[in-house]
Structure 1
Amino acid sequence: MKKIVIYFSASGITEKRARELAAVTGSDIQAIVPAQRYSLADLDWTNQKSRSYQENLDDAVRPALEHGNMNLAGYDRIYLGFPIWWGIAPKIINTFVESNDLSNKEIVVFATSGGSGLQTAVKTLQKQYPALDIKAGKLLNHSVKSDII
């Protein structure tokens, strides 16, 4: 089974966990990069005018990607990682899912979070994309060890 870790990380925390996960699982790795990077001000969830706050309010928002679709042919399992924002995946994850052919792939979601669990984010993605095989992985707030598999 060919595997890849695909992740979005605005602050570097999710990237660190993604790299650890890729090493432990023997997976390739690829970042989801926004066309317009998030600044610290953009990430200020306490500021109702911040970019991340405003994106969260609009279900139709799809932040542009630096690189459109990825060549995922040949991959059977995708570990999809992101920081949880307001209990769900950041909207850039929707952009990624809608920009790529993820049919016939097992998508295992992992995340980092300062307070939210993983289940709401996974259930939201499953509801948004019922044709995809999306499964709950783990919340990776600490170093990834070999027992993750």
Structure 2
Amino acid sequence: MRKLLLVCLGVLMILGLVGCGAEEGKTAEKTAPAQTAENAQTETKAPAAKGKILVAYFSATGNTRTLAENTAKALNADLYEIRPEVPYSKEDLNYNDESTRATVEQKNDSARPKMADRNAPVADYDTIVLAYPIWWGQAPRIMDTFVESYDFTGKKMTAVCTSGGSDIGTSADYLQKIAKGKAEWKQGKLFSPQAKPAEIKSWFDGLGL
């Protein structure tokens, strides 16, 4: 009788342990899906945005490149260089010679110098800042090529420029007129190539973009 009692107790203990193990298994089954879902959500989470502002610049002598780099730094923006298929030489920029390449181009409203590529990631950005030098009172004709090569519909746009003596004038207004797509344009500004990021940031903030 005593042996039978001990056997029964042993069986009950074994069943109890099995029951606990099964309960723990159920708990694990309940929590596993939640963890998996959370992990899946983390894995499929979209990567951080590259940036919403693009500074697209053309620079023949390096002055506008400096301004563009300072502008990108001030606005936490990305840079894209607008490169001509045939780079401009020092002779091409001789303002005192009516036969030089730049002079001939600037006097011809229909001149459209070819770009080295058409890979500007315009579609990835909300705001485009154009940066260019002033040539004969206007933006270089390659800027005309650029704004006619992409669809700026829905973009916010403005311009910064450098000059040896002229102001920004109507250069940005002309680019707005010929640009492809309907964008929201804000008044651009002439800066020194060495303009400080803080100065550029203060101007940009005032545009309300």
Q: TM-score, normalised by structure 2?
A: 0.67
Match of 2:159 in 1: 109
Match of 2:186 in 1: 135
Structure 2 residue 110 is the aligned partner of structure 1 residue 63: no
Match of 1:44 in 2: 94
Q: 1:63 to 1:46 in 2, by over 3 A?
A: same
| Aligned-partner residue type, residue 86 of structure 1 | W
Counterpart Cα distance in 2 of 1:100 and 1:134: 15
Query: 1:134 Cα deviation (Å)?
Result: 2.6
Bigger helix share: 2
| Aligned-partner residue type, residue 144 of structure 1 | K
What does 1:1-149 correspond to in 2, within 5 Å? 2-129=52-179, 131-141=182-192, 142-149=194-201
RMSD after superposition: 1.6
Bigger Rg, which one: 2
In the alignment, structure 1 segments of 5+ residues that lack a partner are none
- Encode CA deviations 1:56-78: one digit per residue, 9 max, x unaligned: 11111100000024222220111
In the alignment, structure 2 segments of 5+ residues that lack a partner are 1-50, 202-209
Query: 1:17 Cα deviation (Å)?
Result: 0.6
Paired-residue identity, %? 38
Q: Using CA pairs below 8 Å that are at least 6 residues apart, which structure has the higher relative contact order? A: 1
Q: TM-score, normalised by structure 1?
A: 0.92
Bigger strand share: 1
Could you list the runs of 4 or more consecutive aligned residues of structure 1 that deviate by over 6 angstroms after TM superposition? Answer: none
- Encode CA deviations 1:29-61: one digit per residue, 9 max, x unaligned: 010000000000001111101000000111111
Match of 2:48 in 1: none
